[in-house]
Amino acid sequence: EVQLLESGGGLIRPGGSLRLSCAASGFSFRSHAMSWVRQAPGRGLEWVSSINSEGDNKNYADSMRGRFIISRDNSKDTLFLQVSSPGVEDTAVYFCAKGHGRFDYWGPGTLVTVSS
Amino acid sequence: DIQMTQSPSSLSASVGDRVTITCRASETINNFLNWYQQKPGKAPKLLIYSASNLQTGVPSRFRGSGSGTDFTLTISNLQPEDFATYSCQQSYSTQYTFGQGTRLEMK
């Protein structure tokens, strides 16, 4: 059974930094692209970033480029998202998802709250 | 970026009804269109990919159609577990974008 579990969310001050993790199991993690998608409170889904299976090809939503860094550790079946200098508009539940383009499995999400 | 617009934003229906949700892209996306279902406080679930292909395990009462810029998700014989929010998403451009969601409520 495919399982994805995010962690690392919490309260962060504007201008701080945070690293989110997503632990994967139940499939060959190293063989699949992975993505992050977020959802602000009461809002729709917003794609953040995707990374290929080898970790050497990354793409980002234009509005988030430079502030978010996606990475992965295939030896630990883990996906990461580094969030730097967030603003209050980055408050959201952050989901990791298997795949890119088509997101066929999702984790339950981790809430990031940006507030002073 | 390609804008995805869903209609209606919300919809009331009863168990056993058939409902249709539409999704329009701001430019042609061929059939690079996916549909997701999301229940409150839960992760989205992929229902339909490439406009009309049913994801494994999804009941056949869900049907997707369309190509180009106009797409529909039809749910036949609504079941209690189908009341949720539905979102479309394009994967034609690598700047992936979602519709704003359609909330399906019980009448």
Q: What is the pLDDT of residue B63?
A: 98
> Is B46's CB within 8 Å of A102's CB?
yes
Residue of B nearest to A103 (CA): B46
Any B CB within 8 A of A56 CB = no
Buried/exposed code over B7-28 (b: 16+ C-beta within 10 A; e: otherwise)? eeeebebeeeeebebbbbbeee
CA distance A58 to A34: 10
Any A CB within 8 A of B1 CB = yes
Distance from CA of A46 to the nearest CA of B (A): 6
For an interface test with B, which of A4, A36, A45, A105 has the most B Cβ atoms less than 10 Å from its Cβ?
A45
CA distance A56 to A54: 6
Does residue A64 carry a pLDDT above 90? no
Pick from A2, A53, A99: nearest CA to B49: A99
**How large is the average pLDDT for residues B68-94?**
97
Query: Binning pLDDT at 50, 70 and 90, where does residue A15 land?
Result: confident
Please provide the average confidence, as pLDDT, over all residues in chain A. Answer: 96
What type of residue is B60? S
Pick from A88, A91, A89, A95: nearest CA to A110: A95
**How large is the average pLDDT for residues A53-58?**
97
CA distance B13 to B1: 33
CB A1, CB A104: distance < 8 Å? no
Token pair for B16? 């056993």
**How large is the average pLDDT for residues B61-80?**
98
The percentage of residues in chain B with a pLDDT greater than 90, rounded to a whole number, is 100
Angle A4-A110-A59 (CA atoms, 0-180°, nearest 5)? 70
What type of residue is B82? D
CB A104, CB B57: distance < 8 Å? no
Any B CB within 8 A of A31 CB = no
**How large is the average pLDDT for residues B13-37?**
98
A-contacting residues of B 26-85, CB under 8 Å? Answer: 32, 34, 36, 38, 42-46, 49-50, 55
Of A21 and A15, the one with more pLDDT: A21
Q: What is the pLDDT of residue A65?
A: 82
CB B34, CB B89: distance < 8 Å? yes
The percentage of residues in chain A with a pLDDT greater than 70, rounded to a whole number, is 100
Any B CB within 8 A of A27 CB = no
> Is A104's CB within 8 Å of B32's CB?
no
The percentage of residues in chain A with a pLDDT greater than 90, rounded to a whole number, is 95
Q: What is the pLDDT of residue A66?
A: 86
- DSSP code of residue B55: P
**How large is the average pLDDT for residues A59-81?**
95
**How large is the average pLDDT for residues A8-14?**
94
Kindly state the helix (H) or strand (E) to which residue A71 belongs, with its residue range.
strand A68-73
Q: What is the pLDDT of residue B23?
A: 98
Q: What is the pLDDT of residue B94?
A: 93
> Is A44's CB within 8 Å of B99's CB?
yes
Does residue A114 carry a pLDDT above 90? yes
